[in-house]
Chain A
Amino acid sequence: MAGDFKSDKIMFMIAAAVIVFVIVQSVFFIVKSWKRAKELGISESTLKSTVSSSALFTVAPAVSILATVFVLANALGIVLPWIRLSVIGNLAYETTAAQTTLDYWGIALNKAVTDPQQFATIAVAMTVGSIAPLLMIPFLCKFLQKKVGFAMNKESDKSKDAETSDKPKSNLGDVISASAFIGIVSAFVAREINGRTVATTNRLDEFGNSIVNAEGAIEKVKNITGSAGVVSILVLICSMVFMTILTVVCKKFKLSKLEPFIMPIAMFAAMGMAILFMNVLPESITGITWYEIGAEV
């Protein structure tokens, strides 16, 4: 019975309320944007393909988020991680918040939390930690959009105006805008080429309990939990190749209806290749990562 409170009826009701909030908010903004799009003369077919391609694009990352709900479920039950990962949360934040709080009592995250007060304290810590961007957005969103966002477009306009016979291949505004996007994307690409992830956890004894040192502090250990390697690079290359081929095919055969879907298709195809690589290639190849998983750093 000790663990039942984590999957209590009220927890499911909170989860339902969160789901309703997220869906209603999203529908509200979609409806308003849709109306405005029509006023702007954006075609119905463009809007429909935005919806279907975004839905398709979301499926795979959403399933991987679902998988992370279960990572936290062992300690916190299924409902709290579900709620937390439906609003604001992501695995890294929630795991850190839960572990940091559990550290206070010297408990590791691989064990079920059975004390209601500890559970409530973790819920408070997760909420207060993750609420920061929501407090900032009302003050900063308008300012940043005006100062940074619109500046890009004004620049684009100026440079279009300044075009002469000796014109550059692009206009400056487009270059600035593309540079910012490419800057974001390349950080993720680089991490798949030679990055690694490290997690700080409690050092455990043979019974799975946290080790407390002579000063009374919990001993910490930093381990490599993920690393780029042969397969991550192969998947990256496959995804790029599929995307390029699909783009060329779409242009050559004028398949404008397929165009919004080429990115999700390239992504699914590359994920399929990941399954193939991991099941067909020998482990001596698939196991090559630049950093040893589990090693202390």
Chain B
Amino acid sequence: MAKDKKYMSPREKDYFDKVHRWGIMWTIGAILMLLSIPVLICVKLGVLPDGEALKQVLPQLMTLYWLTAIAEVIAYVPMLGAGGTYLSFVTGNISNLKLPVGLNAMNSAKVKANTEEGEVIATIAIGVSAIVTTIIIAVGVVVFSLFVGPEVLQAPSIKPAFDFVLPALFGALAASYFEKYWKLVIVAVLVGVIVLIFSPSMGVGTLMFITIVATLAAGFGMYKLKWI
């Protein structure tokens, strides 16, 4: 019982319940806001969307996006925590920004996901990241479209930095697990590489599922063999 208490004390349960309540309210607000965008555009332009076009296009898009959404929700929620999830799914760019930011913050603060400590640290990190991203995009759009011109971002002197932002980001993140779990990192990356040899264009969402399952199995095996 003591153990259960440690992870879900009444106070902790209360806090998580509150986060879910707040999260659901904000999510409903976000859905209403999102839906109002095309409505306002239609009202302002005095047009209705092309119903025939939507009838043909929406089933295609919904099949693609909604299936991906199920995979993303299942993969990300246990990692992001409650507050982090509600924030991340509204602001988007999860895999390339919110998730690494959350992982980095929990690593640095030496707290684990799904504990209350992990929950608050990840939420603060993702909240800060959402604010900074929104401000950078807003300021960038105004500055680059009005004063500088977006071609500056394409200058050969700085373009490579942004072309290679993902290997720079995930290389550092992978290395943060080297010290304790280097065997597991090697196995996980090898699995990903081998899968990509046979299916080089596989989307990261699908690939992630394979590498997570393989790494969990490898981790369990190595633990039993006392390799890690």
Contact = CB atoms under 8 A, between A and B. Distances in A.
Interface in A198-221: 198
A171 B7 CA distance: 16
A93 B171 CA distance: 25
Contacts of B144: 66, 70
Interface in A60-84: 60-67, 69-70, 73, 78, 82-83
A177 B112 contact: yes
A239 B207 CA distance: 22
B216 A180 contact: yes
B25 to A, nearest CB: 9
B176 A243 contact: yes
A231 to B, nearest CB: 7
Contact of A100 (B57, B141, B172, B208): B57
A271 B174 contact: no
Nearest to A128: B58
A158 to B, nearest CB: 7
B109 A42 contact: yes
Interface residues of B, number: 167
Select the residue from A105, A119, A189, A279 with max chain B CB neighbours within 10 A: A189
The A interface is mostly helix, strand or loop, or mixed, namely helix
A2 interface: no
A270 B167 contact: yes
Nearest to A194: B196
Contacts, number: 577
Contacts of A264: 104
Contacts of A161: 3
Contacts of B116: 36, 40
B189 A138 contact: no
B151 to A, nearest CB: 9
Contacts of A5: 44-45
Contact of B136 (A59, A104, A119): A59
A254 interface: no
A238 B126 CA distance: 26
Interface string B61-95: 11011100110111101110111011101111101
Given A55-B129, A239-B172, 4 more contacts: A22-B134, A69-B137, A87-B30, A272-B161
Given A116-B47, A161-B3, A141 B20 contact: yes
A95 to B, nearest CB: 12
Contact of A189 (B135, B136, B156, B189): B189
A253 interface: no
A110 interface: no
Nearest to A105: B53
B121 A50 contact: yes
Given A14-B37, A26-B87, A47-B124, A181 B177 contact: yes
A223 to B, nearest CB: 11
Contact of A275 (B70, B87, B161, B173): B161
A70 B149 CA distance: 10
A133 to B, nearest CB: 4
Interface string A33-64: 11011001010001101110111011111111
